[in-house]
A and B are shown apart, each in its own frame.
Chain A
Amino acid sequence: MWYKLYLLTGIVLLAASLYKLRQSIDFIGKSKLASGVVTSLDESDGTYAPVFTIMTKEHGELIYHHAAYTGPSAWDVGEEATFLYDPADLRSVTMMEYFWLFSWAINLMAVAIPLIITGAGYLLFSRLIGKEDNRLSKKQGIFFIF
């Protein structure tokens, strides 16, 4: 029962991941490149996240607060990075790096894969051991889960 739920949840998350992947690819397709410079560091409990000022040709300066806080700071004021933004939505600024462009797709996929494998593995196991023994093993499975 639980493992069937794993499989189902995994498939839903996989679908969500592919949807997000598609969105990210669309975003890359319609976005423009711009370079940004670290102008200050945000501090929170001894960890730091860079704040970038991004110069764009048509839309002036954009401010981007990076989501990753690290201590000590991974960025120094003055360092540069490349960004992508959708001209129709200036809040869509994203650092042009694999992890930041595809973060939703990656995280959803990372959860979906183990759920699908353990869920599908259970179905395989049940078929291999046969109906009668499966009933018995299910009963004791409850005892063996702590």
Chain B
Amino acid sequence: MIIYLIFIIVGGLLLAFASAKLMNRLAFLRHGERAMGTFIEFVEQKDDDGTFYFPVFNIPYRRKEIITYKHWIGSTNTRWQTGDTALFIFEPGKPETIKPLNYRDILGGALLLLSVAVDLLVIGGGYFLFNGYFGM
């Protein structure tokens, strides 16, 4: 059936994309510079589901500079407190690449794509194996 062919094609594209992203992130992890940031404040954003709080951090950079980072996920609770610290990572000399150093922020996206890609390839590939064996 055409649907399994689509699985294979989409899965293959996603696999290429996910592998590139994963390699990228692993290199980032190996060569990145780590720094400890301090929680500064919450940025509030209101929408239909309520108020969301996005934590903002200050990370010391070089001698006198400071990188300000706002996390991309907001939460309805305010778990961070003034003075809380978090670990960050960025490419040396490129402060704009900064990200919190935790599993989800660094590898989460790439591995999610990889999971979907492998699922599609295994299920789609299974169909063509089945066809090959039983000649349907």
User: Chain A contacts of B83 at CB under 8 A?
Assistant: none
Bound Cα distance A126, B102 (Å): 9
User: Chain A contacts of B136 at CB under 8 A?
Assistant: 96-98
Q: Is A104 an interface residue (CB 8 A)?
A: no
Interface centre among A110, A113, A126, A133, by most B CB within 10 Å?
A113
Q: Give the A-B pair count, Cβ closer than 8 A.
A: 81
Nearest opposing residue in chain A for B123, CB measure: A106
Contact B73 A146 (CB under 8 A): yes
**Count, chain A residues at interface, CB 8 A:** 31
Q: A117-B114, A141-B102 are in contact. Are A146 and B87 (CB under 8 A)?
A: no
Q: Is B92 an interface residue (CB 8 A)?
A: no
User: Chain B contacts of A143 at CB under 8 A?
Assistant: 55, 79-80, 84, 86
User: Chain B contacts of A109 at CB under 8 A?
Assistant: 119, 122-123
Chain B, interface SS category: helix
1/0 contact string of A73-99 vs chain B (CB within 8 Å):
000000000000000000000001110
Contact B119 A113 (CB under 8 A): yes
User: Chain B contacts of A110 at CB under 8 A?
Assistant: 119, 123
Which of the residues A106, A125, A126, A140 comes within 8 Å of B86, measured between beta carbons?
Answer: A140
User: Chain B contacts of A96 at CB under 8 A?
Assistant: 136
Contact A125 B107 (CB under 8 A): yes
Nearest opposing residue in chain B for A118, CB measure: B111
Q: Is A114 an interface residue (CB 8 A)?
A: yes
Interface centre among B103, B115, B123, B127, by most A CB within 10 Å?
B103
Nearest opposing residue in chain B for A111, CB measure: B119
User: Chain B contacts of A71 at CB under 8 A?
Assistant: none
CB distance from A143 to the nearest CB of B (A): 5
Bound Cα distance A138, B131 (Å): 46
Which of the residues B55, B103, B116 comes within 8 Å of A141, measured between beta carbons?
Answer: B103
Of the listed stretches B26-34, B42-50, B60-68, name the one at the interface; the rest are far from the partner chain.
Answer: B26-34
Contact B71 A114 (CB under 8 A): no
Bound Cα distance A8, B84 (Å): 33
Q: A102-B126, A133-B87 are in contact. Are A144 and B105 (CB under 8 A)?
A: yes
Nearest opposing residue in chain B for A106, CB measure: B123
User: Chain A contacts of B112 at CB under 8 A?
Assistant: 114, 118
Interface residues of B (CB under 8 A from A): 4, 26, 29-30, 34, 55, 71, 73, 75, 79-80, 84, 86-87, 100-107, 111-112, 114-116, 118-119, 122-123, 126-127, 130-131, 134, 136
In the complex, 9 of the A-B residue pairs with CB atoms within 8 angstroms, ordered by the A residue number, are A28-B134, A97-B136, A98-B131, A114-B119, A128-B26, A133-B101, A140-B100, A144-B73, A144-B105
